[in-house]
Structure 1
Amino acid sequence: MSTLPWYEDVSPGAGALPPRAWYARSDAASLSLGGTWRFRLSPTADSEDESFAAEGYDCGSWGEITVPGHWVLQGKDRGAPAYTNVRYPFPVDPPRVPTENPTGDHLRRFDLPDGWPETGDAVLRFDGVESAARVWLNGEELGTFKGSRLPHEFAVGPLLKRRGNVLALRVHQWSSGSYLEDQDQWWLPGVFRDVTLLHRPEGAARDFFVHASYDHTSATGTLRVECDVPGRVIVPELGIDTATGTGVTVRVEPWSAERPRLYEGELSAGGERIPLRIGFRTVCVEDGVIKVNGRRILFRGVNRHEFHPETGRAVDLATMRRDVELMKRHNINAVRTSHYPPHPAFLDLCDAYGLWVVDECDLETHGFEELDWRANPVDDARWTPALLDRAERMVERDKNHPSVIMWSLGNECGTGAGLTAMAAWIRDRDPLRLVHYEGDRSCADTDVYSRMYPPHAEVEVIGRREDDGPAARRELPFVLCEYGHAMGNGPGGLAEYQRLFERYERCQGGFVWEWIDHGLVHPRYGHAYGGDFGEELHDGNFVCDGLLFPDRTPSPGLVEYKKVIEPVRIEAGTAAGSVRVTNLHDAVDLSAVSFVWSYLVDGESVGSGPLAVPELAAGESAEVRLPAPPEDEREGERTWTVRALLAGDTAWAPGGHEIAWGQLPVSGPLRAVEASGVRPLVEGRRITLGPAVFDARTGEPVALGGISLTGLRLDVWRAPTDNDHGAAWQPDERHGLLWRELGLHRMRHRVDAVETDGEAMTVRTRVAPAARDVGLRTVYRWTSDGTRVGLKVSVTPEGEWRLPLPRLGVRLGLPAAWDRVAWFGGGPGEAYPDTRAAARLGRWRATVDELQTPYLRPQENGARIGTRWVELGDGGGRLRVEGDPVFWFTARRWTSELLDAADHLADLVPGDTVWLNLDHAQHGIGSQSCGPGVLPEHRLHAAPATFSFTFAPLAGESG
């Protein structure tokens, strides 16, 4: 009978100290062991050579590696990253793993710094190693551990020397722990978090637990610090100086994500002083609603994997801080740490800046779903100690963070007794936080009902507590732990979700999936996704589904989300000349917010000033009178814009940062004056109509006022978005595939007639896909007043159209030099029917290149909504297009067909034409890359339509 090697055994490891609370610093000595280590890689894990761990071993032939880091991201011949979403990248035979098991031996020589204490003990701490490690110090084995995103410590005091210490580490990429870490991300082995040597003074505390509750009825907080040794706790600002274990009640300001009030304190025990940052707050479920400090909260959240495009999950403090600041600047108030505890320093930032945190255990067994959950570890008693070890290490490490208000058992693990055991242990250890898990619809072990990607209609039913299922579940608060899948262009439908969250008390918001695209730096593609490193088994660009691009540039999806979840609503008041302001914060008033107004005429500001708004309490509204509009005699569209700004500097943004805005139309878009009165002139193969010249055979314009034009025709195709394609497990509305099957990407244009009369030139066509019996009867009617040309397009569907159209409009080509764009309409970024909340009416400028959105997998992007007019110029002349009254426009240096054919941005090569799309309508975006499709009101059905444009060649730069 064979004996499993330790890394295949289901146990969590051996030799590590019990878990304890993490803190960033104390006055005890410490030594970071990060930096350059010696490294060698073996293709298998079966080496019995442990001589490298002995003192005096010659590692001169080894390479070098940076710790923290992943070896597959540090040089050639060290393997490569691999991405899978659900499927394990090895045969599923738990707890066994393949013989082909890349194994990295790490060596670090170090001396103790001068002044290292002679007395006391020392602890060697590993904050994160994937996926299993065996440790030696000075030739003595310390132990083994698994649980990649969790800390492990070893007592090493008697083994330390003043000089010449040798730390050896053998890391296996695969282990039994890998079955518990199937978490929709790159598989990246290595020592990716800090390695630290900590001095432990004699009699120092090993662990402590800060209990800091808040009673909103009396505005008092109660502080009690449990400690395993006697000590004292001081909080000078509150006048607290008490023994550990003693409760003290004082008047305090509570901690919340909106006002993260922290009190600086100190724990003194056994010759060590540990700084405390104390936030008083109480979390509970009351009347079926999550409340903090007595008030309902609404999660405006994101899911966050740890990620850096160059270093993978080895994320430095500056990058963590940048994440938190970007979240706060975009009105995000909550983070789910998908799907494992983050670096503990990230939670320190959440405490300081103010973010609600759902702290998730390092546990996911999603790959067993494809096997009907056979042999799922969470329902196998042999694995329960490993599950409990992970729960304990998370809770003990993070228990003193006020930002953590909910523990999550893990993600996508099915159901089983192991989860019940974890929940019971957590409740016993920390009964004053909530327990979360999404995968068990019975909610037997949880304090909330959590779902992923439910359609809007179902959310409404749940909000009314009319959903099917156990009666006890209907009494629980409802949270969307994942929704709004931010893959590629999108997500759509966020505004409709937010209205449901605000309407139904039970619906307490959710967490968009996810924060950042996991595109790794690649020499050819710029940023790579699944399959780009030669993986045979991968899930493509499904790893790129974030609100940030890999370089942490906000995507249009994040800009949209910021607008949708803004904590102040600004809308038209009931009285003429007034604005209604609503404070949507959970707890704070508007004393930290200032308001300004501006008055626009045709998108240009003609006046601005401050607006006095009461310091509304959370949930309150007020109607505020606007000033008399500035005098301006021009005829034009008039609009008020009111903006809510930070009144002063904060830790995350300077004063003047915009947190919300609203626009109030005074008058609507003006109708274009018809361009008519000039007769068309037929001259052989040319037809001249005012400033335009047409091909008499096809009716297509070839020039307008000296500007070369090409290919003007009806266009219904767009390069399908990730949401158009839909996920493979959602076959019902995967429009990208169905559109392609119908042939919308290769429509044929038949000219039936080119006619002229005394007023117009009319072109009659039929546009249809090959091999299908459906079509679009299309009539182009051209007129001119001598300086402008008008186009009226009439479209009549023929046959039975069972699919919506991607878009409906016309496309034409301009010379490549015509790449300077100005427009009056929605901007500055892209927008579609269900992603338009952030489109602000104004006058905007950009180059054609700046209009593009660089989604890692190229797809439809860059449409500007509500356009009244757009001008494209080359610096000397310009072409102006007006709608009747509004339209979408898109301009790019490649066709939709070339955009569709590209797999990476590097595949897109600019041509000698700028392709301009002028759209009457667009199909919505939805979230069906992993969620609901396009809502009915945002679908573009094939139906009779008529739309118009006016074209005018102009001289000089745009005004």
Structure 2
Amino acid sequence: MLHLTKYWDDLHVLHVNREEPRAHYIPYADERSAQSAKRGQSPLYQTLNGQWKFRYYNSVHEVKDAFYEDGVDVSGWDDLLVPSCWQSNGYDQMHYSNVNYPFPCDPPFVPDRNPAGLYLRDFQVREEWLGKQKHVVFEGVNSCFYLWVNGSFVGYSQGSRMPAEFDLTPYLRDGSNRMAVMVLKWSDGSYLEDQDAWRYSGIFRDVYLLARSESRVRDVFYRADLSEGLDQSVVQCTIDTVGSVDVTIQLVDASGVKQGEASGTIDGSATFSLTVEQPELWHAERPYLYSLFVTGGGEVLHFKVGMRKVEVRDGVFLINGQAVKLKGVNRHDSHPELGQTIPLKHMIQDLHLMKRHNVNTVRTSHYPNDSRFLDLCDELGFYVIDEADLECHGVLHAGDYHMLTKDPAWEAAFIERAIRMVERDKNHACIVMWSMGNESGYGVNHIAMARWTKERDSSRVIHYEGAALKYNGHPDTDCLDVNSRMYATVQELLDYATNESLNKPLLQCEYSHAMGNSCGDLQDYWDVIYKYPKLMGGCVWEWCDHGIKAVSPEGEAYFAYGGDFGDKPSDGNFCIDGLVSPDRIPHTNLLELKKVIAPVLLEAEELSKGLVRVTNRYDFIDLSDCVMAWKVERDGETMEQGLLPVLHTAPKQSEVIEVPYTIPAEGGRWFLQITVMQSRDTRWAAAGHELTSEQFELPAPHSSMDQETTIAWKPSLKVRTEGSEVTIEGFDFLHVFDLQAGTFTRVTKHGVPLLQGMPKFHIWRAPADNDRKIKVFWRQEGYDRIETKVYRSEMTLAAADKVRFEVEFSLGGYIKLPILRGTSIWEIDGEGVITVAAEMKVREELPYLPRIGLQWMMPGGNEELEYFGYGPHESYVDKRRSVRKGKYALTVDEMYQSYVVPQENGSRYGTEWATVSNALGMGLKFTSPGSSYSFQALHYTPEDLTEAMHTYELKRRKETIVHLDHRMNGIGSSSCGTDLLEAYQLSDKEFAFKLEIAPVMKEDE
């Protein structure tokens, strides 16, 4: 092995020769290039991104040769792009773990088999840098690394997601230089980086050189102190220098007008003050930014300045004096091909998507993001909870959740995580809260972190969820400004909000676990959050599915997850828990969130007079940038429409408007829809982008269409019995009922088959990720393997215009007693319309059902759907705020909602009628007289979806499987956290419902 000092499991060594942390900036040669904020335009910046020579070893102990020495032949090495992750390029083991350490928990020691990656790069230094100090900055290296230049050891660093800067001046020479880096997969810092994510390694963020003056500005920290009335801002700018430097600062507004200037000679540290009268304030709704130019030592530094005030007053979280609700998401660095290496355009894509879906807050779970991400949040307008790169969740299973945070030996490592985050990010207006990490217990080391942070920066509040009393950590929480919870129930939020002895605002740093088909509880949460000032909002877990782009043996593209690479221990698909897919296609979860947290609320005031109440839920801006369009539909057809006058409703205020529609005078189903759109282009969406919409059913007279149609001829049915089969033949149809099976075996119209197999009552749905707890009990009771037992089946009526069958039956699975017993009455009228009325009783002690209804399989070719119900996308009893009632036409394939792990999907809550037909309109119309039902039509059975663990394992059937559910269990978000609310559980023990199945020729209607 190489002769190396073993820093990687020495708690007393966190770095060697690394520069002190500072604010993030790039030095420029003049104000013009600094204004561009394009680092490539700075002659003082040189990227080292690109192709490096690379060699991977399974263990650092296998590295025998001094690869870093000058002149070593590396022609036989691999080429590896920097930045990148080893695992994304075929080296080492792809590994996903949530809580557990992927190695024995023996802090601070890591396995002797510690994979190592060797990097080599030859580079030139610009001639104009002669006489300059030369620094290298590594923005992110996981987990630790040693650095050599031209054969000389430069230094060591650990702490994966923060910059490491080294002075290379003594080591560089004219002409060609060689940089050598050895990255290790594990270090003692890995005990503090046990985040719920893929475990990536390597130089995964940017690397670059900086040319610095010998006497220079080293650090800048500005604070914009706003007066009580917010009409004056005093910008306190503290500057640290290396040597004596003549420094000038200028503050310029967004239009280029100078707002203040100060200058002086600094040798060490000094603070300048600039006063701005009537400042434009920064907030997420209108993120106004000033520019601060700091000139000294032949360099110009440029910082964006947002003037805003963050505070807690009387238990309420305030920004600029206003109570603000944080409508947030948790975001990991995650790319389906690049792993944790995130291109700038990918960051922009994420933030634009968030803006388009009314998200205003990002929690950087669970480490500081790339500095450019924070630049974007400043510019686009997001509140950021900046989280330290600190999670030691794995000690929970080692026996003591507080093992590391209560151990003074780890204090320096803990505090350094806060210092490096705060020092780098302190000049970002978007950051409204510092987080002391995640899921790491709570003890004296966290308290030390928080106290240092408060002393260094009192302009923001401090958060750490691990201090919650339920974890039995250290009782002293005075250093924290907010209380926070993960996955608190709605009732727990209500209890907190109404408890007058609790005087801190409450943040749900994680709630509504968005895994698979999820987020069925959002409206319930936000009804309470909006109502109580102490509840400051929360962040949905989480933004994106962490799927890895892969190809099946059959050549089909899919997304892989934990365990697919043989990784152990692994938490399987628990990394697939986002509002968007790995390739950033929004799930319906995100559409639901967009609606629930929309900035405009529309409510019926007096619809008979066209009156609607509009509430502005923005905190700072009026509604003058919104345009509202309205339309009235009758039975799904647009009857009239128009635009409303521009409103100037003040923030947090309401007004009643009159929508000039004609009050319905004819029968039918009439709906008013109002859509709120942005009136101008923004960086994230064009004018006309929908912010929210609302639908109201209008009162209308009884429709003559509901009356029975008189026909000029009388139907005459022919009934014949052969064994157990009863054939019912009419003028243009022929149905066959099997008395032994208690159901139909054939249904036709004009000879066209409309039934494949036999209709059956069904209770199983493919478990959604949120069913992961209850599905154990479902399966124990046989819900997933039901068979029908017929006790009695007889034809009780055989008239010329009607045939009736009565069936007594039960549903049950092997081993267990029957799940339910019921009676069904099947009738066929003279036109071939089938009506089934069912009554059922569920065994008393059983867990609630997944669904209850009828499954009807139709032959291949029945691809066209039309329905009147909620759409256009899937909806459930607790997940339907983002849909509206109307008439929708689509295909069976379009009904399907793809999730990385196949599961229940595509159901349409509140369907009143649905038609499934072939291309010529020949098919069936399904109605539930006097009520609505949940409608689903897919090319997969629930059993198909249950058995498949990846999308490529699904084999599309040619048949169309129709589900007509009297009731469908709610979706919730209980894959992590709270159970499904009782109101949405299918826990009734008695059911009665009626369905009508009518053969149709749509083109004749």
TM-score interval for Structure 1 and Structure 2 normalised by the shorter chain:
over 0.9
**Equivalence map 1:86-165=2 (5 Å):** 86-113=99-126, 116-165=128-177
Structure 1 match to 2:542: 514
- Structure 2 partner of 1:33: 48
Which of 838, 849, 856 matches 2:900?
856
Distance change >3 Å, CA 516–CA 747, structure 1 → 2: same
For 2:444 and 2:940, the matched residues in 1 are separated by: 56
Work out which of the residue numbers 867, 890, 893 in structure 2 matches 1:846: 890
Which is further off, 824-833 or 241-250?
Answer: 241-250
Q: Could you tell me which residue of structure 2 aligns to residue 452 of structure 1?
A: 486
Give the match for residue 700 of structure 1. Answer: 744
Is the CA contact (8 Å cut-off) linking 1:288 and 1:477 kept in structure 2? yes
Give, as a single letter, the amino acid of the residue that structure 1 aligns with 2:280.
E
Paired letter, 1:686 = V
Moved more, 895-904 or 839-848: 839-848
Deviation of 1:261 (Å)? 0.7
Is 1:356 the counterpart of 2:403? The answer is no
The separation in 1 between residues aligned to 2:819 and 2:424, in whole angstroms, is 64
1:754 and 2:788 equivalent?
A: no
Secondary structure at 1:900 match in 2: helix
Residue identity in the other structure for 1:500? V
Q: Secondary structure at the match of 2:823?
A: strand
Q: Structure 1 residues 436 and 218, CA, compared in 2 at 3 Å: closer, same or farther?
A: closer
1:63 to 78, 82, 104: 78
Deviations 1:42-72 (A, max 9, x none): 1112256452112211111111111111111
CA contact (8 A) 1:598 1:605 kept: yes
Match of 2:886, SS state, is strand
Rounded Cα–Cα distance in structure 2 between residues aligned with 1:672 and 1:221: 68
Instruction: Note the 1:491-890 alignment, pairs <5 A.
Output: 491-524=519-552, 526-574=558-606, 576=608, 577-612=610-645, 614-629=647-662, 633=666, 635-667=667-699, 681-683=718-720, 684=722, 685-688=725-728, 690=730, 691-697=733-739, 698=741, 699-705=743-749, 706-709=752-755, 710-725=757-772, 734-751=773-790, 752-757=792-797, 758=799, 759-769=802-812, 770-787=814-831, 789-879=833-923, 880-884=925-929, 885-890=931-936
Question: In the superposition, relative to structure 1, how do residues 116 and 528 fare at CA in structure 2: closer, same or farther (>3 Å)?
Answer: farther
Cα distance, 1:213 vs structure 2? 3.0
Cα distance in 2 for partners of 1:54, 1:672 equals 89
**2:434 matches 1:401:** no
Q: 1:760 to 1:592 in 2, by over 3 A?
A: same
Partner of 2:471: none
Q: Does 1:926 align with 2:972?
A: yes
Q: Distance in 1 between matches of 2:823 and 2:384?
A: 57
Deviates more, 1:141-150 or 1:206-215: 206-215
Query: Aligned residue for 1:198?
Result: 210
Q: Which residue identity lines up with residue 617 of structure 1 in the other structure?
A: A
Q: Distance in 2 between matches of 1:839 and 1:704?
A: 34
TM-score (norm 1): 0.95
Change (3 A) 1:944 1:762: farther
| Residue 391 in structure 1 maps to residue 392 in structure 2 | no
Alignment correspondent of 1:730: none
> What are the Cα deviations for residues 925-952 of structure 1, in whole angstroms up to 9, with x where unaligned?
1111101111111111233322233333
Residue 5 of structure 1: aligned partner: 6
- Which letter does structure 1 place at the counterpart of 2:644? L
- Equivalent-residue separation in structure 2 for 1:594 and 1:347 (angstroms): 30
C-alpha distance in 2 between matches for 1:186 and 1:509: 28
Q: Deviations over 1:235-284 (max 9, x none)?
A: 23253222362232322110001111112332212111112211100101
Aligned to 2:462, the other structure's residue is in SS state strand
Q: Deviations over 1:622-665 (max 9, x none)?
A: 111111328785x3200000111101111211111110111111
AA at the equivalent of 1:53: Y
| Residue of structure 1 in register with 2:21 after alignment | 19
Aligned match of 2:393: 366
Aligned residues: 940
Q: Partner residue of 1:225?
A: 237
Q: CA offsets, 1:450-504, max 9 Å, x none?
A: 00001111110001126xxxx5xx1100010000000111022110000110111
Deviation readout 1:291-348 (Å, 9 max, x if unpaired)? 0100011011000001000011100000000000000100000010000000111001
Three-state SS of the structure 2 residue aligned to 1:206 is strand
> How far apart, CA to CA, are the structure 1 residues paired with 2:857 and 2:103?
50
2:474 matches 1:461: no
TM-score relative to the length of structure 2: 0.90
SS of the residue 2:217 aligns to:
coil
Change (3 A) 1:203 1:912: same
Map 1:66-77 to 2 at 5 A. Answer: 66-75=81-90
SS at the partner of 1:808?
A: strand
Q: Which residue of 2 aligns with 1:241?
A: 261
Match of 1:272 among 289, 295, 299: 299
**Cα distance in 1 between the residues matched to 2:432 and 2:962:** 50
Q: Deviations over 1:687-740 (max 9, x none)?
A: 216535023333315123123303211111101111111xxxxxxxx2111111
Alignment correspondent of 2:98? 85
Which residue is 1:947 aligned to? 993
Does the CA contact (< 8 Å) of 1:203 and 1:271 recur in 2?
Answer: no
CA deviation map 1:824-851 (0-9, x unaligned):
2111111111111111112223222222
RMSD: 2.2
Secondary structure class of the residue paired with 2:1000: strand
Most deviating of 745-754 and 87-96? 745-754
Match of 1:894 among 925, 940, 944: 940
- Measure, in 2, the Cα distance between the counterparts of 1:689 and 1:825: 32
Structure 2 partner of 1:731: none
Which segment is superposed worse, 702-711 or 5-14?
Answer: 702-711
- Equivalent-residue separation in structure 2 for 1:459 and 1:3 (angstroms): 53
Taking the aligned partners of 2:806 and 2:942, their CA distance within structure 1 comes to: 24
Query: Does the C-alpha gap of structure 1 residues 673 and 138 become closer, same or farther in structure 2, counting only changes over 3 Å?
Result: farther
| Native 8 Å contact 1:822 1:958 kept in 2 | no
Distance, in Å, in 2 between the alignment partners of 1:194 and 1:763 is: 73
Alpha-carbon distance in 1 for matches of 2:663, 2:89: 62
Distance in 1, matches of 2:262 and 2:142, equals 42
Report the secondary structure of 2:61's partner residue: coil
1:419 CA drift (Å): 0.6
Q: CA separation in 2, counterparts of 1:543 and 1:377? A: 25
How far, CA to CA, are the matches of 1:135 and 1:3 in structure 2? 12
How far, CA to CA, are the matches of 1:545 and 1:296 in structure 2? 30
Asked if structure 2 preserves the Cα contact closer than 8 Å seen for 1:238 and 1:250, the reply is no
Relative to structure 1, the CA distance from residue 459 to residue 412 in structure 2 (aligned partners, 3 Å threshold; closer, same or farther) is same
Separation in 1, partners of 2:872, 2:963:
17
* Aligned-residue offset at 1:588: 1.5
Map 1:416-431 onto structure 2 (within 5 A).
416-431=443-458
1:798 Cα deviation after fit: 4.9
Instruction: Return the match for 2:221 from 196, 209, 233.
Output: 209
SS at match of 1:318: helix
- AA matched with 1:753: S
